[in-house]
């Protein structure tokens, strides 16, 4: 990458983000001097510090003054507010500044890029695909938007001939990539704060699909108007999971592709959305020409991604599941998995809405998806990069939910509320900081149990 030839230091603004931290790790292995800023400490920042990366938690202009604008690259995400002291300080001092998506684009330009896009399922599909290729000893680098249970990391390093990445639609970031093979899981409306409406979102996905030169290497969910090859479950798709059955709590299925069939594959992840994700990942690996002989064993050994239907407690009397679901369609997918795995047990969902704008845009859909559960507990909206919107609160959303067993709670009250319930399957959902609460809840429920 000529852009980085003379770069010795890379500073990440928002280094604790899941995508940013993967890039930081990548460049750290390349011998660059890595440092960065994030608002609060987290498990990710703790891990990065152990890897020798310097992290600041206070925005201070002295950080800018300590670095040279001649050999330093500054990387940031669009989630960083425009009034950021650090971002503006680096700009004023003439530093080279790039968005995370542009840097990822440079990396993908130097290799065969396999990119997975979609409003849901990107992380799990990317993790499955990366695991399939790494297990086959392909020379692959994988950037994940979550932490793989198999590798305990959001970065898989096994060579540089192939790059597997999540193609993020936020801020049209995925248009910076150079996909050789692309998979698209879904195109549901989301990020309307960026796109305005679903039509503009669809235009962006079409532009992304058009980046793939060979349409045989464009795989997408059946029903999306994108050309290329279709993917589905028992619906006459080009890449299709067939003869699906559940044995010992796992999916067993056959994979049909335009050229070959693989029989009796086993996926140890619940939910038909994950079965679709696996089908797409297998299809992309086959398009690449990766050997199919080891795929059944690799798929069987795939353990999943943290905060994607992750079991924190799994006993006969109590189940606690942690999941990143933050869109109505994702909540529906989690619900489908729960009733399939635990059809006769009472369930309770704890949901932390993510973003005021998303809560506003999908208020009715959120209410409908949450109303399916036996009991609902709502936490306050996690603002992330946003400022409050008048009238958009968790109380506003709660009012829309039809189920009578619904309450608001604070994080401090949550354990008490859960102990007062007779539900034996508890789910904690959301993309905010609810994930940080899960271990606390697990300990309190385990003590009580």
Give all domains of the chain, ordered by start, each with its CATH number.
2-99 (3.40.50.720), 111-300 (3.40.1190.10), 310-448 (3.90.190.20)
Global pTM?
0.82
> Contact at 8 Å (CB) between 219 and 229?
yes
Q: Phi first, then psi: what are they for 437, rounded to 5°?
A: -90, -15
The three-state (H, E, C) secondary structure of 98-146, written as one string: EEHHHHHHHHHHCCEEEEEECCCCHHHHHHHHHHHHHHCCCCEEEEEEE
Q: Looking at residue 1, what is its pLDDT?
A: 55
Q: How far apart are CA 399 and CA 390, in angstroms?
A: 16
Q: Looking at residue 39, what is its pLDDT?
A: 87
Task: Give me 65's structure tokens.
Answer: 């003054």
Q: What is the pLDDT of residues 105-146, one digit of tens each?
A: 999 888 999 999 998 889 999 999 999 999 999 999 999 988
What does the pLDDT average to over 27-37? 95
Which residues face 407 on adjacent strands?
Answer: 377
Q: What is the pLDDT of residues 323-378, one digit of tens each?
A: 989 999 899 989 998 998 898 899 999 999 999 999 999 999 999 999 999 999 99
Task: Give me 429's structure tokens.
Answer: 């959902």
Q: How far apart are CA 10 and CA 4, in angstroms?
A: 10
Q: Looking at residue 328, what is its pLDDT?
A: 94
């Amino acid at each position: 990458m000529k852009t980085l030839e003379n770069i010795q230091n890379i500073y990440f603004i928002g280094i604790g983000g899941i995508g940013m931290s993967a890039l930081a790790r990548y460049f750290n292995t390349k011998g660059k001097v890595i440092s960065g800023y994030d608002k609060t400490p987290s498990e990710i920042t703790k891990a990065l510090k152990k890897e020798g990366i310097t992290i600041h938690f206070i925005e201070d202009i002295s950080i800018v003054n300590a670095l040279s604008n001649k050999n330093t690259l500054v990387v940031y995400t669009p989630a960083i507010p425009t009034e950021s002291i650090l971002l503006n300080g680096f700009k004023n001092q003439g530093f080279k500044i790039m968005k995370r998506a542009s840097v990822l684009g440079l990396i993908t330009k130097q290799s065969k890029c396999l990119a997975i896009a979609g409003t849901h399922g990107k992380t799990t599909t990317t993790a499955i695909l990366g695991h399939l290729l790494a297990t086959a000893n392909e020379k692959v680098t994988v950037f994940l938007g979550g932490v793989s249970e198999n590798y305990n990391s959001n970065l898989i390093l096994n060579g540089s001939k192939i790059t597997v990445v999540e193609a993020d639609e936020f801020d049209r970031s995925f248009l910076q990539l150079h996909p050789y093979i692309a998979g698209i899981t879904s195109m549901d409306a989301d990020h309307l704060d960026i796109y305005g409406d679903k039509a503009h979102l669809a235009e962006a996905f079409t532009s992304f699909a058009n980046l793939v030169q060979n349409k045989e290497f464009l795989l997408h969910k059946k029903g999306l108007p994108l050309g290329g090859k279709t993917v589905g479950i028992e619906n006459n798709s080009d890449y299709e999971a067939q003869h699906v059955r559940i044995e010992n709590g796992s999916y067993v299925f056959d994979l049909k592709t335009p050229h070959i069939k693989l029989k009796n594959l086993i996926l140890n992840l619940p939910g038909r959305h994950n079965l679709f994700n696996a089908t797409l990942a297998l299809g992309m690996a086959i398009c690449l020409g990766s050997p199919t002989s080891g795929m059944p064993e690799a798929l069987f050994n795939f353990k999943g991604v943290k905060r994607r239907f992750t079991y924190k407690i799994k006993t006969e009397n109590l189940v606690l599941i942690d999941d990143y679901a933050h869109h109505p369609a994702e909540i529906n997918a989690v619900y489908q998995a729960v009733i399939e795995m635990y059809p006769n047990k009472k369930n309770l969902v704890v949901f932390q809405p993510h973003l005021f704008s998303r809560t506003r845009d999908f208020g009715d859909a959120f209410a409908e998806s949450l109303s399916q559960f036996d009991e609902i507990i709502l936490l306050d909206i996690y603002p992330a990069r946003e400022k409050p919107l008048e009238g958009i609160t968790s109380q506003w959303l709660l009012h829309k939910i039809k189920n009578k067993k619904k309450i608001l709670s604070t994080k401090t009250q949550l354990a008490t509320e859960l102990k007062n319930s007779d539900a034996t399957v508890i789910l904690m959902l959301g993309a905010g900081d609810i994930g940080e609460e899960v271990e606390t809840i697990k300990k309190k429920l385990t003590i009580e149990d």
